[in-house]
Amino acid sequence: MANFIENLPDGWTIYLWLIIGAMIIVAVMYWIRWGMKNEQFNEDIKYVMFDENDKDKMDPAEYAKSREVIKAQIESRNRHLAQEDAKRKNSA
């Protein structure tokens, strides 16, 4: 193996870097696609940490938004749990 590497012509390392770079780009595109399919890019997720005790500290519009986001998150969780149950039942 060492003899093979020594016999390669000058400039072969650029091709190695190009291949590694292409692999990194493909991996990043895959993970971005995965994140989009699994609702990972939601800016409203910050509202989930608020609860009923924070109502007096928040603007009414912000509080209403937090309630909507929490409701949407609960629906999303129930939808994903139902999908997991359906997959489990189909595989059994």
Instruction: Encode pLDDT of 5-32 as tens digits.
Output: 778 788 888 888 999 999 999 999 999 9
Every domain of the chain and the residues it spans:
1-41, 42-92
pLDDT given at position 11: 83
pLDDT given at position 39: 79
pTM of the model: 0.57
Instruction: Encode pLDDT of 30-80 as tens digits.
Output: 999 999 888 788 788 788 888 888 888 888 898 899 899 889 889 988 998
pLDDT above 90: residue 86: yes
Tokens matching residue 5: 């590497």
Tokens matching residue 8: 């390669």
pLDDT above 80: residue 1: no
Residue 69 and residue 45 in contact, taking contact as beta carbons nearer than 8 Å: yes
Q: How far apart are CA 47 and CA 63, in angstroms?
A: 9
